[in-house]
């Protein structure tokens, strides 16, 4: 049977109240709430937007979604995980403050914010994988502590994954820092010797004792390093760097495998809502206002992460007459995550689109 994707046309010009009702209508159509029990913890997985970013989903657009879920299961929380890079979202204190600054406060949306991988991103739970790349996924603890999940995704382009939507929100966004490092890199971090001030902070912090002083500079013993990624944000001098993987296919395949671990944990208690509004070239990690590269299209939702992302791309291509705005931004083929996602059972590229009035 084809997966069902529900779509409602929408634009930022509708205003917050109408957008909130439209998002609620899409979620209701998926039938997600029928799977909930009153004692369930429901995680609303979102990206709060980096400081200065304006494209992220706005809290006012979610009041209807929250009301819809709360009728069935009142224990809701908004969540994201800390970033791999140093910035305004690399620890829970600054991350929550940024969420407040972007309006995710009780006076706007009465839902607590919990950063899923804890104070400094080391609250990790392992999930066993059986696909090609990920034998053991390192997921953010509060994600696996929840009973149900709604992936609320702002659709964007991305320099490595080509597309940032439901699969990326689940795969990368639900991973701990170690899980993000696992997906972005094929090797351990490296020390930029000329930037190292030999302050000693990382020597004390590394739980694996993999960071030591060698000739007055930090050095990583790869045999000991567990890839937790903590030193990347512990170093205040930017001397520890990710060895980024340049293979966009491999990154996207890992992304899909992480998303599949999340899907497997939640089973039918998973819904995905993609917001095709202010679609930008780069993701919401960009600390700036980004112009839309396509006019606003609407909101689509499904219980199937692959189907909702495939429908998202199809809607965009339909609107642009076949011109792919993501390939114009970066020549990163986004299709690997969708193809691999289907291969490993994350979802289906074949879907039925049901348009809501
Ligand atoms: S924390 Fe940074 S500057 Fe300090 S010793 Fe480690 S790598 Fe060098
Ligand atoms: S990634 Fe973790 S284990 Fe490896 S050197 Fe950094 S802190 Fe130590």
CA distance 336 to 225: 30
The candidate with the shortest Cα–Cα distance to 259, out of 165, 141, 352, is 165
Ligand 2 pocket: which of 138, 177, 201, 231 to mutate (most atoms <8 Å of CB)? 231
Kindly provide the b/e burial profile for residues 42-61, where b requires at least 16 CB atoms within 10 angstroms of the residue's own CB. bbbbbbbbbeebebbbbbeb
pLDDT band at 322 (very low <50, low <70, confident <90, very high): very high
Tell the residue nearest (CA) to atom 2 of ligand 2: 228
- Asked if the model's pLDDT at residue 47 lies above 90, the reply is yes
Nearest atom within ligand 1 for CA of residue 240: 7
Nearest atom within ligand 1 for CA of residue 199: 4
- Asked if the model's pLDDT at residue 168 lies above 80, the reply is yes
Single pTM value for the model: 0.90
Nearest atom within ligand 1 for CA of residue 238: 2
Tell the residue nearest (CA) to atom 8 of ligand 1: 196
Kindly provide the b/e burial profile for residues 172-207, where b requires at least 16 CB atoms within 10 angstroms of the residue's own CB. bbbbbbbbbbbbbbeebbebeeeebeeeebbeeebe
Token look-up 């994707």 returns: 5
CB 162 within 8 A of CB 213: no
- pLDDT mean over 338-347: 97
Token look-up 């709060």 returns: 48
Return the pLDDT at 214. Answer: 93
Return the pLDDT at 296. Answer: 98
CB 46 within 8 A of CB 61: no
Q: Which two tokens stand for residue 225?
A: 């390093």
Return the pLDDT at 287. Answer: 83
CA distance 9 to 25: 12
Q: Which two tokens stand for residue 166?
A: 């439901």
Residues with CB under 6 A from ligand 1: 191, 196-202, 218, 234-235, 237, 239-240
Nearest atom within ligand 2 for CA of residue 220: 5
- Asked if the model's pLDDT at residue 223 lies above 80, the reply is yes
Mean of the per-residue pLDDT values of the chain: 94
Residue 224 CA to ligand 1 center (angstroms) comes to: 18
Tell the residue nearest (CA) to atom 6 of ligand 2: 231
Ligand 1 pocket: which of 202, 205, 229, 241 to mutate (most atoms <8 Å of CB)? 202
Ligand 1 pocket: which of 188, 200, 204, 221 to mutate (most atoms <8 Å of CB)? 200
- Asked if the model's pLDDT at residue 241 lies above 80, the reply is yes
Residue 240 CA to ligand 1 center (angstroms) comes to: 7
Return the pLDDT at 329. Answer: 72
59 lines ligand 2 (CB under 6 A): no
- pLDDT mean over 310-333: 91
The candidate with the shortest Cα–Cα distance to 247, out of 303, 184, 318, is 184
- Model pLDDT for residues 50-91, shown as the tens digit of each residue: 999 999 999 999 999 999 999 999 999 999 999 887 788 989
CA distance 282 to 290: 8
Token look-up 């400081």 returns: 51
The CA-atom distances, in angstroms, between 234 and each of 61, 64, 212 are: 35, 39, 14
Three-state DSSP string of the chain: CCEEEEEEECCHHHCHHHHHHHHHHHHHHHCHHHHCCCCCEEEEECCCCCCCCCCCCCHHHHHHHHHHHHCCCCEEEEEECCCCCCCCCCCHHHHHHHHHHCCCCCCCCCCCEEECCCCCCCCEEEEECCCCCCCEEEEEHHHHHCCEEEEEEEEEEECCCEEECHHHHHHCCCECHHHHHHHHECCCCEECHHHCCCCCHHHHHCCCCCEEEECCEEEECCCCCCCCCHHHHHCCCCCEECCECCCHHHHHHHHHHHHHHHHHHHCCCEEEEEEEEEEECCCCCCCCCCCCCCCCCEEEEECCHHHHHHHHHHHHHHHHCCCCHHHHHCCCCCHHHHHHHHHCCCCCCCEEEEECC
- pLDDT mean over 87-100: 93
- Asked if the model's pLDDT at residue 331 lies above 80, the reply is no
292 lines ligand 2 (CB under 6 A): no
Contacts of 221 (CB under 8 A, 6+ apart): 209, 210, 211, 212
What domains sit in the chain, N to C, each tagged with a CATH number?
3-183+248-355 (3.40.50.11440), 187-241 (3.30.70.20)
- Model pLDDT for residues 201-214, shown as the tens digit of each residue: 999 889 889 999 99
Return the pLDDT at 335. Answer: 95
């Amino acid at each position: 049977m084809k997966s069902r994707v529900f779509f409602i046309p929408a634009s930022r010009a509708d205003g917050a109240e109408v957008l909130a009702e439209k998002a609620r209508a899409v979620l209701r159509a998926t039938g997600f709430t029928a799977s909930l029990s009153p004692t369930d913890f429901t995680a609303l997985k979102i990206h709060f937007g980096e400081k200065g970013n304006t494209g992220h989903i706005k809290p006012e657009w979610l009041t209807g979604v929250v009301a819809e879920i709360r009728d069935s299961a009142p224990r809701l929380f908004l969540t994201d995980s800390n970033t791999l890079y140093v910035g305004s979202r690399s620890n829970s204190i600054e991350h929550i403050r940024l969420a407040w600054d972007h309006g995710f406060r009780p006076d706007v949306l009465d839902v607590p914010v919990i950063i899923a991988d804890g104070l400094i991103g080391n609250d990790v739970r392992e999930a066993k994988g059986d696909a090609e790349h990920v034998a053991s996924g390192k997921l953010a603890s509060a994600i696996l502590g929840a009973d149900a999940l709604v992936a609320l995704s702002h659709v964007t382009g991305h320099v490595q994954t080509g597309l940032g939507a439901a699969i990326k929100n689940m795969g990368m966004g639900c991973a701990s820092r170690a899980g993000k490092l696992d997906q972005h890199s094929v090797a351990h971090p490296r020390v930029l010797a000329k930037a190292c001030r030999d302050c000693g902070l990382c020597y004390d912090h590394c739980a694996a004792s993999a960071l030591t002083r060698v000739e007055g500079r930090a050095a990583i013993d790869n045999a000991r390093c567990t890839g937790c990624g903590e030193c990347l944000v512990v170093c205040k001098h930017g001397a520890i760097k990710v060895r980024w993987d340049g293979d966009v296919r491999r990154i996207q395949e890992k992304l899909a495998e992480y998303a599949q671990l999340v899907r497997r944990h939640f089973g039918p208690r998973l819904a995905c809502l993609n917001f095709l509004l202010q679609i930008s070239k780069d993701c919401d990690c960009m600390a700036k206002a980004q112009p839309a590269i396509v006019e606003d299209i609407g909101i689509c939702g499904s219980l199937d992460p692959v189907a909702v992302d495939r429908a998202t791309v199809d809607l965009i291509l339909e609107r642009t007459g076949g011109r792919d705005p993501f390939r114009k931004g970066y020549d990163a083929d986004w299709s690997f995550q969708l193809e691999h996602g289907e291969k490993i059972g994350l979802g289906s590229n074949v879907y039925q689109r049901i348009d809501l009035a």
